Amino acid sequence: MFDDFLVRAAFASVGVALAAAPLGCFVVWRRMAYFGDATAHAAILGVALALAFGLPVFWGALAVSLIMAMIVATLSGRSFATDTLLGVMAHSALAIGLLAASFLSGVRIDLMAYLFGDVLAVSRTDLAVIWGGGGLIVALLIWRWQALLTSTMNPDLARAAGIDPKREQLVLTLTLALIVAIAIKVVGVLLISALLLIPAAAARPFARTPEFMAGLAAVIGAVSALGGLSASFVMDTPTGPTIVSVAACFFVISVSLGGFLRRTANREK
């Protein structure tokens, strides 16, 4: 059944969406949007380095994303203006990555595929990497769920309960680098943050518990992935941006509907 490139594309995008949703919730709750950007943008440098040394792109992207995520996690704990610092890191990483890619002579590198994804070119091996990596992310998040939530609420509260907030931060740093590495093929480095943030933000107005928000975000992400894939097939548009556009539509509908419901509820009070 994986012989058809459309079936492979569908499984690949749904796999990434399912893993990105719960992780994206933490990105939203902990205000790590720029953190996600910096990690994702650094991956392009990893891609360029991997191609230069003839290594698999997945490992190159994973390694450089991980290093970037570690640097950012260390620096943002200090008293810098964090948003400025992260903005500088995110965009510098992208620029340096593009610069490195331009030095690659002899290797024809399709930059667009790494910037915006090329899900229709997903191979069986890619699919195995995506579901293997995605499964690992979800397993890590489920394992650390309670501790992660507690340290997201308040680090001191976590410490009082014998949880080390730094270790939990490390789990998120690791999983974030991993999602970047597996999502490059599907949406590309520029739109990975979108896949993390938008389904989670769209789920927020209807959620009363963190678990429900993560679950609903996964549903919204998966539906966006399939909807975006079919829309891109029908309209002959690039798949990654189409998936993100569908998710953005869900966000607009959800926020408007959420606001409407809240106003109605307040009037009834």
CB burial of residue 145 (10 Å; 0-12, 13-18, 19+): middle
Q: Any contact of residue 220 with another protein (CB under 8 A)?
A: no
Residue whose entry in the numeric block shows the structure tokens 């610092």: 85
Kindly state whether residue 194 participates in binding another protein, applying the rule CB under 8 A. Answer: no
Q: Does 152 bind another protein (CB under 8 A)?
A: yes
165-187 vs 57-75: helix crossing angle, rounded to 10: 140
Using the contact rule CB under 8 A, the part of the chain among 43-51, 158-166, 236-244, 250-258 near another protein is 158-166
Q: Which stretch binds another protein (CB under 8 A): 7-15, 109-117, 208-216, 249-257?
A: 208-216
57 binds another protein (CB under 8 A): no
Window contacting another protein (CB under 8 A); options: 14-22, 104-112, 149-157, 246-254: 149-157
Residue 83 binds another protein, judged by CB under 8 A: no
Burial (0-12, 13-18, 19+ Cβ within 10 Å), 256: exposed
Measured from the CB of residue 13, what is the shortest distance to another protein in angstroms? 25
* CB of 24 closer than 8 Å to CB of 217: yes
Rounded distance between C-alpha atoms, residue 61 and residue 64, angstroms: 5
Question: Does 213 participate in binding another protein (rule CB under 8 A)?
Answer: yes
The CA–CA distances, whole Å, from 226 to 18, 197, 207 equal: 12, 18, 23
Pick the closer one to another protein by CB: 236 or 268: 268
Q: Pick between residue 32 and residue 181 the one whose CB is nearest to another protein.
A: 32
Contact residue for another protein among 7, 95, 99, 153 (CB under 8 A): 153
| In 76-164, alpha helices (H) | 82-103, 111-116, 124-153, 155-160
Buried b / exposed e across 28-42, counting CB within 10 Å, b at 16+? bbeebbbbbbbbbbb
Q: Is 256 in the site for another protein (CB under 8 A)?
A: no
* 67: its two tokens: 């290093």
The residue (of 95 and 253) whose beta carbon lies closer to another protein is: 253
Interaction of residue 246 with another protein, rule CB under 8 A: no
Among 111, 140, 207, 226, binds another protein (CB under 8 A): 207
Encoded tokens for 88: 């500088």
Give residues in contact with another protein (CB under 8 A). 28-31, 146-147, 149-150, 152-154, 156-163, 201, 204, 207-210, 212-213
